[in-house]
Amino acid sequence: MNVAQLLVRAARVAPGDPAVLLGERVLLDYAGFARRAAQLGAGLQGALALAPGERVAILLRNRPEYLDLLWGAWMAGLAVVPVNAKLHPREVEFILADSGARVLFTDADAAGALRAAAPRLPALRTVVDVDGADYPRLFGDAACEPAGREPQDTAWLFYTSGTTGRPKGVMITHRNLLAMALCYLADVDPIARQDASLYAAPMSHGAGLYCVPHVLAGARHVVPASGGFDPAEVLRLAARLRHVSLFAAPTMVKRLVEGAQAQGSGGDGIKTIVYGGAPMYAADIEQALAVLGPRFVQIYGQGECPMGITVLARSQLTDTAHPRHAQRLASVGVAQSAVEVRVAAPPGDAGEVLVRGDTVMAGYWGNPEATAQALQGGWLHTGDVGALDGDGFLTLMDRSKDLIISGGSNIYPREVEEVLLRHPAVREVAVVGRPHAEWGEEVVAFVVPRPGAALDTAELDALCLDSIARFKRPRHYRLMDELPKNNYGKVLKTALRTLDQAGVAA
């Protein structure tokens, strides 16, 4: 099935329901949304002569046109290649070349640089500036029906962040999108028509994927006028629009909580904040629940299994009477309905997290070796280290590459970070390993103090001695104004290790 059928159905059921909003302003109802997607689909097939299966790249910040482009491309049976809007033109060029994208939709800022790269990109026929005259011309009188697609056909080619080598194009199929959407409804949160999906996190990533369950349910899609994440704007829009749900990385949750506290807001109008994509520390989720109330659900996923591995439900987050509540709060929850999750280790022990089921990617685009390695034995090898408890709750330690081995013992940075974050003067922390001649590695903590707080590292040391084994405590503390993060709010540990090395060498 072509996932675009969901939009056709939603528009038939309730054509007059509000569909696409820019801030508080309704731009399109469902009939209008589906019409634009069908017109654009016809334009892609006709004027741009694209055939089903070909790739359409999107390099834009969050804006309403993103929804036209995703659904218009799917209508025409094409695969979208959403590109992180903050990438360097050279990185964008790599993705365009690797995906063989035929068309790139972008804005005036990027169009010039990428038109200059066009001679090096033989597959690329056109660069369309969505603010220019060519874009509206693609919406003509003709409208297309959803092109026939098989469940295993690629709908979204998602490029991994490539911190360890070249980015790889994850083939996310129509089946994957449908399974992810059904899991959202079954496991994460039911969606009613009056609900609104607010795109505060980049639509090139998980937030954009969440438009699928919200189209399925006929809910509103709200693009903030800022095109990004501004805590005050989120709080204001939620209060005005009501029933607002959003995806937020843990660092965004933290900023939203601080913003709400500063305004004396309790998150009025927010229905659900789905968080994930990076570790959420116990101290941070406890504070978020205290300030914003029972509005949270956690998911764990990765590009190779988008938004689709485990879920920690609202009820589990708030069931403080449960005897294992503390462990559950620090876990990523249980397998979502479409997948089996196991850990490559004896029960209770830590090992690599393996996943099998309908949200797992078809493979990497044009890279059978990497596909065979990632999907060995039919299981996705996530590269994450975790442990399953007897109730099926998965606790993630760290990415295997972030594990620190000191004096032959494993140290999971997350465990040390959880302890340091309990200190009131610590706002953010990231722990990495530094090569050490005798021990192999030693522990270094990068700490961001709370504004105005005086940080005494002796106190941090005492806190660690109180809570974890001696060998796990940081041997060095480095104070920072902020931690390096990517566009999705993930702390860049590779960058921290490089920074640390530069400091040691200096």
- The DSSP H or E segment spanning 500 is helix 493-505
- The answer to whether the beta carbons of residues 332 and 300 sit under 8 Å apart is yes
What DSSP letter does each residue of 314-382 carry, written as one string? HHHHH-TTSTTHHHHHTS--EE-TTEEEEESSSTTS-EEEEEEETTS--EETT-HHHHHHHTGGGSEEE
Q: Does 384 bind ligand AMP (CB under 6 A)?
A: yes
Among 2-10, 125-133, 234-242, 273-281, the segment contacting ligand AMP (CB under 6 A): 273-281
Q: Does 82 bind ligand AMP (CB under 6 A)?
A: no
Of 203, 314, 200, nearest in space to 259 by CA: 200
Q: Does 396 bind ligand AMP (CB under 6 A)?
A: yes
Among 148-156, 271-279, 405-413, 434-442, the segment contacting ligand AMP (CB under 6 A): 271-279
Q: Does 302 bind ligand AMP (CB under 6 A)?
A: yes
Q: Does 277 bind ligand AMP (CB under 6 A)?
A: yes
Q: Does 314 bind ligand AMP (CB under 6 A)?
A: no
Q: Does 303 bind ligand AMP (CB under 6 A)?
A: yes
Q: Does 387 bind ligand AMP (CB under 6 A)?
A: no
Of 220, 275, 254, nearest in space to 67 by CA: 220
Q: Which is nearer to ligand AMP, 161 or 287 (CB)?
A: 161
Among 66-74, 100-108, 264-272, 297-305, the segment contacting ligand AMP (CB under 6 A): 297-305
Burial class (CB in 10 A: 0-12, 13-18, 19+), 61: middle
Q: According to CB under 6 A, which one of 278, 283, 448, 455 is a site residue for ligand AMP? A: 278
Q: Does 363 bind ligand AMP (CB under 6 A)?
A: no
Q: Which long-range contacts (CB under 8 A, 24 or more apart) does 335-338 make?
A: 335/309, 335/310, 335/392, 335/394, 336/183, 336/186, 336/187, 336/188, 336/299, 336/308, 336/309, 336/310, 336/311, 337/182, 337/183, 337/186, 337/187, 338/179, 338/180, 338/182, 338/183, 338/308
Q: What's at 462, amino acid-wise? A: A
The least CB distance from residue 416 to ligand AMP, in Å, is 15
User: Residue count at the site for ligand AMP (CB under 6 A)?
Assistant: 16
Q: Does 300 bind ligand AMP (CB under 6 A)?
A: yes
Q: Does 161 bind ligand AMP (CB under 6 A)?
A: yes
Q: Does 418 bind ligand AMP (CB under 6 A)?
A: no
Q: According to CB under 6 A, which one of 202, 279, 363, 386 is a site residue for ligand AMP? A: 279
Residue ranges in contact with ligand AMP by CB under 6 A: 160-161, 276-279, 298, 300-303, 332, 382, 384, 396, 399
